[in-house]
Chains A and B, each alone.
Chain A
């Protein structure tokens, strides 16, 4: 018999957990006490806020492909996890969050720091449970890890009452391999493959859209082989970036509201649309009633609830896309689509002239966000991880960052959580200390979780923070300019001296205001051994284009 708190830690070790992000408090203290004994086997990273802990666990999970673990106390500790849970839920990130809870006999009595976190987190978790007895801890953790990482991954919350942490129970860890009510995988139907292959072979203008499902399903090689064989143009969603190297001859760019011109526009000209591990988010489709109506749709998807949810498909291919892609590779004929691919390249020139040149090689005085990314590309390693926050800088960094390897893109996609980047970058760095982790963040978002500079200080995680400062909530300001008659309602920021702030945290900090200093500053940053804070003062009122305005069709993508 051992203490429940020890069962918690031993169960995590049994699941090969090496890092936990957390914050202590009354109702989780027994677990923290147990962690003290296992610090040589499990590394706990003390963040400065529970939201920081869960975003760090998300960044960790996205880069490592493992389950991220966050630990928090009851009440406010638990409620501070909610944003991260919602973010992980919509972006399919595997997490196990463990929260302390008041003792079982106090449940429902409005006890100090009691909150119904199981109730609150229900809509934003894949699964959650409250454990009130020591002997139930290990089975709950085993089940939680299985659910978090299998099928379409997602966040799990396990709420453990304080009495269960202090009482004794028998520890016998049995990993969970299946649950009778839960089907994470469906075998690929060979008939669907035959139908899909026939459609693909007959298509004159086929078009592949790939999403994060390719990365989660570890199907990067299969996607590449499929495109090598068929020569079909392929575009990426926000979270799919990195699944295919951007150097690939079939790669044509990015989809969505601020994606590339050709990939959006030509969605309405293809004859067969092959969606791989993506869910037709409204930011990708624009107006659904005018989205790819001319095309026959093939949807390779793991989650049955995504089939026909937003876009009706002719051929649903339910199952793991790694399996379905490899079956498709054998079923389709070798092909090339040079003429069709040429249309993408033609329109690409248009975007180059009217948007990209201005963004990357501006002639006016003010620095652009784009040129910062251009220099990052010049000096970064091939497998450097880009972590971004939410807003203009996120879209610009995504548009111009040169993705070459999988799992190099960490951002808040579905939820659009400002404040995500700084803690997520810390977590991403914890997953692999040898990797370059570049955190590109705006002056609005960084101040939502800026306290995590303290965690970077304490852990000495060599995160490179690139603050693109325009003293505005830039994306909202852009919308105010375009759709609200330039009425800049509460979007301008009076900011602190970020350099002094980073300096106070003992982080090497440099500010760049002139174009001539930019290249060297970025080169220096990436060579620096340890955390680094680079503030780049950019043009105050720059806009992100192309853009598909809300309610517009993908073919109404505008260049200015």
Chain B
């Protein structure tokens, strides 16, 4: 089993995410994380899925995803083939903000992005191992809430969806 990142470019149609996720459901494969957003191309969505599967499974999954009518292109990458980040937010009570917490924030190069009467929100970006490490460190500071995104990823190998679209006979 390997951790893979699947990058999927789709038309922005209602239900497309469902069509993609049922491919995993049917095969009993868990999605570790999922991010969906508009891509840099007008009207085209980019979906990033992280999952832990065998090589045979990932090839099969991507073939099935690409078979969906409204999917333009799907690619899969090993962790070593993508540059990726995840963002995490940590909410802490305002009175936990002392010198030692400030030190932690500096060490991690994290940021306080909101400070309210009752709480502060710290933002930190990195790989899951990094955001997880900060989570463990902050737990003794009466952590109130934690939220982590799925990964956003850029592939190292060169490919271009817009070039691909240009080659399609429209």
Contact = CB atoms under 8 A, between A and B. Distances in A.
Interface of A: 118-119, 122-123, 126-130, 147, 178-183, 303-305, 307-309
A43 to B, nearest CB: 30
A180 B72 contact: yes
Interface of B: 10-11, 13-15, 18-19, 22, 26, 59-60, 63-64, 66-67, 69-72, 165, 168-170
A307 B56 CA distance: 12
Contacts of A127: 69-70
A341 to B, nearest CB: 36
B168 A180 contact: yes
B70 to A, nearest CB: 5
B19 A305 contact: no
Give the top 6 A-B pairs by smallest Cβ distance, nearest first: A305-B63, A181-B72, A127-B69, A305-B67, A182-B69, A181-B11
B4 to A, nearest CB: 17
B134 to A, nearest CB: 39
12 contacts: A119-B18, A122-B15, A123-B22, A123-B26, A147-B69, A178-B168, A181-B10, A181-B70, A305-B63, A305-B64, A307-B63, A309-B60
B69 A305 contact: no
A309 B27 CA distance: 14
Contacts of A118: 15
B41 to A, nearest CB: 11
B142 to A, nearest CB: 41
Contacts of A182: 69-70
B19 A122 contact: yes
Given A118-B15, A178-B169, A304 B69 contact: no
Nearest to B13: A129
Contacts of B69: 126-127, 147, 179, 181-182
A377 to B, nearest CB: 40
B155 to A, nearest CB: 19
Nearest to A154: B69
Given A118-B15, A180-B170, A181-B10, 8 more contacts: A123-B22, A129-B13, A180-B72, A180-B165, A181-B11, A182-B70, A304-B63, A309-B63
A316 to B, nearest CB: 12
Contacts of B15: 118-119, 122, 128
Contacts of A122: 15, 18-19, 22
Contacts of B22: 122-123
Contacts of B72: 180-181
Nearest to A152: B67
A127 B71 CA distance: 11
Nearest to A308: B59
Contacts of A129: 13
B25 to A, nearest CB: 9
B18 A305 contact: no
A129 B14 CA distance: 8
Contacts of A119: 15, 18
Nearest to A156: B69
Given A122-B18, A122-B19, A303-B67, A178 B170 contact: yes
Nearest to B169: A178
